[in-house]
Structure 1
Amino acid sequence: MTAVLTAAALLLAAGCSGDGADKPAESAARATESSGAPPSESAKASGGRTPPAKGAVDVERTVTEGLGSPWGLAPLPGGDLLVSSRDEGTISRVDSGSGKRVELGSVPGVAAAGEGGLMGIALSPSFASDQMVYAYFTTASDNRIARMLYDEGKPAGQQLGAPDTVLRGIPKGMIHNGGRIAFGPDKLLYAGTGEVGETGLSQDKKSLAGKILRMTPEGEPAPGNPLGDDSYVYSFGHRNVQGLAWDEEKRLWASEFGQNTWDELNQIVAGDNYGWPEVEGKAGKDGFHDPVAQWQTSEASPSGIAYAEGSIWMAGLRGERLWRIPVSGTDGGGEPQAFLKEEYGRLRTVVGAGTDKLWLATSETDGRGTPKKGDDRVLELKVK
């Protein structure tokens, strides 16, 4: 454990984007590497298709504020929202109308440190009947995924049942713990993991680190996974995946932290190698799947993503902005647009709140922001 913590500390000191930290050494390296480069690049639509027309987004209202280190968001049937706190290890319910918060309870075993803690949450595909909430979190020994019964009939603070671990043994570190989980259109559970600062794990097909994993709701490797029915690995060669979303064509998209040069939005193909640590950004090298879009790390450091109105919407931490990347009607992606630049600080998670609405969580209280009165908050956005 000491060796892992020492390695993580060295990586942080050397300059590593992680959750969007802006270290002096890192800033200097990025300034040098980005000199003369365009502010952003994106893949153009292929096959002669024309990218969709540009759109926009407006902030309609603040749903709630005063949150501490919010990380995961999960919309409930009926319109309310579950929010996880990375550092506090709790899950709360937010009334989407009044903004009133009720703490459901704490997740036992959460060991919050560095970029680890209670991160992504997701509802069971059968939530209406089983009332199960899934969570990805860091313990003293690993990252793991567990499910808990949500019992509204119990008193506030006691509404989460004992965790039933569905997957354990995902490597943990002070940095790059991944943490996003989501159920896909196939009703299977997907998880984005990080390489915890040990770059070789991304290319190690036997490791759960630096991957997108796919499993059954019970935590077994999903039948038909590309590396065999005994493997959880759906794609590999990732540095730190914190965003997962599917479009109307059921294509999977993932956001990924770069190191010093390029952050990425990837279209995920089962079994493909996304390059880390051999390549960062678009390399055009055989055997590696290039990203659809890439950004200077100062412009993004992306976490959550969502799909709405023909586009992927991507929350930026260090970039402090919300990116829109048109994807419908294209084989790749249209030109990205930035919204809310430096208006609300670091942006952590974005999820769909209806056909043309999004919920967006800020991340100023995660130890790397500059909290202002009201931080952190959840905003409701209108997509136009």
Structure 2
Amino acid sequence: MSGSGRGRAAALVVAGATVAACTSGPEDASTPASTDAVPSATAEPGGADGSDDDGADDPDDDRTQDGADGPEVAEPGVLATGLRSPWGLTFLPDGDALVTERDTARILRISPDGEVTEAAVVPGVAHGGEGGLLGIAADPEDPANVYVYATTDEDNRVIRLRFDDGELDSGHLRVQEVVLEGIPHHPQRHNGGRLAFGPDGFLYVASGDADDRSAAQDLDSLAGKILRVDRDGDPAAGNPTSDSPVWSLGHRNVQGLGWIPSGEDAGTMVASEFGQDTWDELNRIEPGENYGWPQVEGDGGGAEYTDPLLTWRPADASPSGIAVTEEEVYVAALRGESLWRVPLDGADVGEPERLLAGEYGRLRAAEVDSAGQLWLLTSNTSRGAPAPEDDRIVVVDPDDL
């Protein structure tokens, strides 16, 4: 996708409510929860009021199904409740999910029938504001190895953990080593945090500018970048600069990473990003491209910068995790308390559609399981007025949205 000075098709703009400046506080400021929530399974499908909005089966029925060609998958509905600021989600081959809790540094294992167990508490994590235990990614080649992105008192870093004896059924993850450190951090704001393995087998790491705008344009800084590394944290082969992990630059605070899985544009990388006062962004990521922050927010920065595919007003989005399919991008919105469905039109995007507006509150992450069901993480316990069952994992069938 070319920059605005290279003849790109016009980016779409979602214009919504009057913009309220984000400079009064971070996008994901933390406020203490009134109680220490204990995660639990739930058989109550539907929306925030407990209604059966998505047409799930009776809650007393078996909530799992045996996939003919794969692991068990969850049925639509609220799968688990009582989580504390869940942030990242990754799937294991058996259909279970691993979910990080930002504020507690716990990694939870969630089965397709809603059973919740604790797999690890990552030591040394420093929670504050938007920092803590953030992204998580299981290695697709060896899923007994799991990578997490964590804020410490010194930096943001990527840590590798491993299931005991390399057995996924062991249930316990142990810290192995730090594979990438020195990512600038801030005690409250702009710590990035999303991790994902790309179709090329390399690990992609989303960092924020750590509230230092100039760092996003500094190639010697790991802040305000998307990084691409191998499993040991070294710069990946084929990076724009051979001895650098930097894949793209000029980012304020990247929150979601994904790739189109198939079709003519298979392997195309897409990322969501928090804006400041004016425009949140959905970007098509190309190696070595500069996405403009802090010189430009949104599009129109000139030939040296790459325009976003799509922009929103922060009041409508504050986009976090994304799930990318062949035909659509699903964007979890925090401040916008919605799920945005963005049609893919080749290398461009169609008119976005706002879904689930206000039904579950703030949405932090979206991931698609092996059967095409969409798993959503809410993020209400850290900010605002959480419902009694928050935070939750919600499973929806995209065909029912």
Give the TM bin, normalised by the shorter chain: 0.7 to 0.9
| Alpha-carbon distance in structure 1 between the residues aligned to 2:176 and 2:102 | 17
Q: Quick check: 1:309–1:356 contact (8 Å CA) kept in 2? A: no
C-alpha contact (below 8 Å) 1:360/1:380 kept by paired residues: yes
Question: Which residue matches 1:313?
Answer: 330
| Other-structure match for 1:275 | 292
Residue 151 of structure 1: how far off its partner (Å): 2.3
Aligned to 1:225: 239
Q: Are 1:110 and 2:119 an aligned pair?
A: no
Q: Which amino acid aligns with 2:300?
A: A
The aligned residue for residue 386 of structure 2 is: 371
* Contact residue 133 and residue 149 of structure 2 kept, 8 A: yes
Partner of 2:105: 89
Match of 1:333 in 2: 349
Residue 20 of structure 1 and its aligned partner are, at CA, apart by: 7.2
Displaced runs of 4 or more, over 6 A: none
Does the alignment pair 1:143 with 2:156? yes
Counterpart residue number, 1:298: 315
Matching of residue 349 in structure 1 with residue 365 in structure 2 = yes
Aligned mates of 1:119, 1:267 — CA distance in 2 = 23
Query: How far, CA to CA, are the matches of 2:395 and 2:134 in structure 1?
Result: 21
Give per-residue Cα distances to partners, 1:231-263, cap 9 Å, x unaligned: 010000000001000002110000000001100
Q: Name the counterpart of 2:208.
A: 194
**Residue 370 of structure 1: how far off its partner (Å):** 1.3
**Letter of the structure 2 residue corresponding to residue 380 of structure 1:** V
Alpha-carbon distance in structure 2 between the residues aligned to 1:262 and 1:58: 35
Q: Deviations over 1:163-193 (max 9, x none)?
A: 4110000000020000000000000000110
CA distance in structure 2 between the aligned counterparts of 1:162 and 1:357, rounded to whole angstroms? 30
Aligned partner of 1:133 among 146, 150, 169: 146
* AA matched with 1:191: V
Distance 1:153 1:164, change over 3 A: closer
Q: Distance in 1 between matches of 2:82 and 2:374?
A: 19
Aligned residue in 1 for 2:78: 62
Is the CA contact 1:17–1:301 (under 8 Å) kept in the aligned structure 2?
no
SS of 2:89's equivalent in the other structure is strand
Question: 1:16 and 1:197 mapped to 2: Cα distance?
Answer: 12
1: CA distance between counterparts of 2:157 and 2:301?
34
Task: Flag the 1:275–1:284 CA change in 2: closer, same or farther, 3 A.
Answer: closer
Deviation, 1:158, is: 8.1
Paired with 1:205 and 1:162, the residues of 2 have a C-alpha distance of: 30
Tell me if 1:323 matches 2:340: yes
1:357 Cα deviation after fit = 1.4
Query: Is the contact between residue 87 and residue 99 of structure 2 (CA under 8 Å) also seen in structure 1?
Result: yes
Distance 2:27 2:365 in 1: 15
Change in 2 beyond 3 A, CA 1:203/1:284: closer
8 A Cα contact 1:110 1:138, kept in partner: yes
Q: Name 2:174's counterpart in structure 1.
A: 161
Kept in 1: contact 2:148–2:159 (CA 8 A):
yes
Q: Unaligned stretches of 5+ in structure 1? A: 1-11, 23-56
How far apart are 1:19 and its partner, in Å? 2.6
Distance 1:148 1:72 in 2: 15
Normalising by structure 1, we get a TM-score of: 0.82
Q: What TM-score do the two structures reach when normalised by structure 2?
A: 0.79
Report the Cα offset of residue 285 of structure 1: 1.3
Deviation, structure 1 residue 95: 1.4
Q: Percent identity?
A: 48
SS in 2 for 1:202: helix
Deviation of the 1:58 alpha carbon: 7.7
Match of 2:3 in 1: none
**Counterpart of 1:201 in 2: which secondary structure?**
helix
Q: CA deviation at 1:150?
A: 1.5
| Pairing 1:120–2:135 present | yes
The residue that corresponds to 2:65 in the other structure is: none
The answer to whether the 8 Å contact 1:299/1:318 transfers is yes
The one-character-per-residue Cα deviations of 1:352-384 (angstroms, maximum 9, x if unpaired) are 113531100000012x23111110001111112
Pick which of 75-84 and 203-212 moved more: 75-84
Q: C-alpha displacement at 1:75, in angstroms?
A: 1.0
Residue identity in the other structure for 1:137: A
Shift of 1:76: 1.2
SS at match of 1:161: strand
Question: How far has the Cα of 1:202 moved from its partner?
Answer: 0.4
What is the rounded CA distance, in whole Å, between the counterparts of 2:23 and 2:310 in structure 1?
26
Q: Retained in 1: the 8 A contact 2:135–2:193? A: yes
Alpha-carbon contact 1:79-1:96 (below 8 Å) kept: yes
Tell me what 1:40 maps to. Answer: none
Question: Match for residue 177 of structure 1?
Answer: 191
**Matched residue count:** 333
Does structure 2 conserve the Cα–Cα contact (< 8 Å) formed by 1:325 and 1:336? yes
